[in-house]
Amino acid sequence: NYLVGVGRADCTGPVAEIPLMGYANPDQVGSGLLMRLYSRAFIVADLDDSKRIVFVSADIGMVSQRVRLEVLKELKSKYGDLYRQDNVILSGTHTHSGPGGYFQYTLFWITSKGLSRPSLNAVVSGIVKSIDIAHQNMKRGRIFINRGTVENSQINRSPFSYLKNPASERSRYSSDTDKEMVMLKMVDENGQELGLISWFAVHPVSMNNTNHLVNSDNVGYASYLFEQEKNKGMLPGEGSFVAAFASSNLGDVSPNTKGPFCVNTGESCNNPQSTCPVGGATMCMAMGPGNDMFDSTRIIGQNIYLKARELYEKASQEVTGTLSSAHQWVNMSDVSVKLNATHTVKTCKPALGHSFAAGTIDGVGAFNFTQGAVEGDPFWDEIRDQLLGEPSNETKACHKPKPILFSTGEMTRPHPWHPDIVDVQIAAIGSLAIIAVPGEFTTMSGRRLREAVKKEFDSSSTPRMDVVIAGLCNVYTHYITTYEEYQVQRYEAASTIYGPHTLSAYIQLYRGLARAIA
């Protein structure tokens, strides 16, 4: 039904004396290598080669705007208008153990101590090379889709936020995490196996913030296991079969299934502020199923791999139909959202709340910040005002009930601290729609987005679409919670940078993109 090409290339970059990206911990500096990082590319084209879709999953924390722009520039110089911003999706797996320093906004430069040209070059060249390899290996092929439930691999790390969603909505789901894995199997016309893409919502944070070895965490280990099985006798990173385990709506989803405990006393700290009686929030950490973080990475990675293998072997539903894609640049700090006939709301200039500094049970912050803070702290606010300036009254009002710690949208020196202009993108491979989102949607946010996009397709001439969310795509804008979760102001809500109506804005935008390609 299609022309299909797959490719994999190394994108590891420097592994020593470079801050790692993910936990925002300046002390977490690379000092060696555990597993190499790879970019995995998949190209699907119509048989007449009139339309193409490229999906890339790279073993990096997230795709940055700088990376995307440089990749597209290189592709344009090589291939002209064949690969463009509308038909190339770049997604990060969200490993927290890869090198940082490949961003263009100031906030992300702070923990990475500025731009790292070697890191940026490795990511860009690795992604481009993986696309080159896929491009050179295009052949007639078939694509199959399957889906199934992954057990014992996730918990919701902000259950108190999730419980604020309407009971009528929660009752439609059996769990406070999305357990479904969606998988694409690719073979050539003779049945020769080419590769797979799996989307599953889990944070690759089995390796915690005490780790100093560059690696691709649990989902990277799943890729390793699948590729080693199919590329018999080959070293890791070699062989023609490519297995990508891509990110989805993982915002509030942790692989640390034992849950949060006080590391100093051993008691549970599963409370709304994730704090301990002695030592406060900095002592509250979630534990994985293993004896240590390496063992936990292996266990979770193996769980994901085994389910993918089962789905791969049983995949029989063929993907057919045309290819289409759409992309839009949006000023996310100024989107008007029509909630109903009488009410219109707006997004805000980017800002981070106090609970952003608290971190999560997967990687705690510093000082006395706690999750769930709906009031500021006079001490930190005064320091902020002196060093960075006070947030405007307009931004404060727009973000309520978030107490603003950093009004990043009003901070432009030496460069802007956060993006205003964001890419939204959607691509359809026959009956599968891939929503490329620029951040971390929580479980319920992702469910609402998928449902809204599916409804848009159903009401047009393309019903019965499968809809998946590809996370950490194109530019990083932190988290996207539901309006109800936002009111609680745990870490994910404090990191929803465009305010309480961020999700509504994205739903409106992606519905528009779905209409454009339906």
The residues carrying an active-site annotation are: 254
- 3-state SS of 60-103 is CCCCCHHHHHHHHHHHHHHHCCCCCCCCEEEEECCCCCEECCCC
Distance between start and end Cα atoms, the chain:
20
Q: Are strands 2-10 and 139-149 parallel, antiparallel or unpaired?
A: antiparallel
For 473, the token pair is 């795509």
Binding-site residues, please?
A: 94, 203, 440, 479
Q: What phi-psi label fits residue 372: left (phi over 0), alpha (psi between -120 and 50 degrees) or beta?
A: left
For 25, the token pair is 């911990």
Q: Is 67 helix (H, G, I), strand (E, B) or coil?
A: helix
Q: Are strands 98-99 and 440-441 parallel, antiparallel or unpaired?
A: unpaired
Q: From the CB of residue 187, how many other CB atoms can be counted at a distance below 10 Å?
A: 17
According to DSSP, the residues that pair with 38 across neighbouring strands are: 10
Binding-site residues for Zn(2+), please?
A: 94, 203, 440, 479
What distance in Å separates the CA atoms of residue 13 and residue 432, rounded to the nearest whole number? 33
Contact 231, 239 (CB under 8 A): yes
What distance in Å separates the CA atoms of residue 71 and residue 83, rounded to the nearest whole number? 10
What distance in Å separates the CA atoms of residue 449 and residue 438, rounded to the nearest whole number? 13
Q: CB-based burial of residue 393 (10 Å sphere; 0-12 exposed, 13-18 middle, 19+ buried)? A: exposed
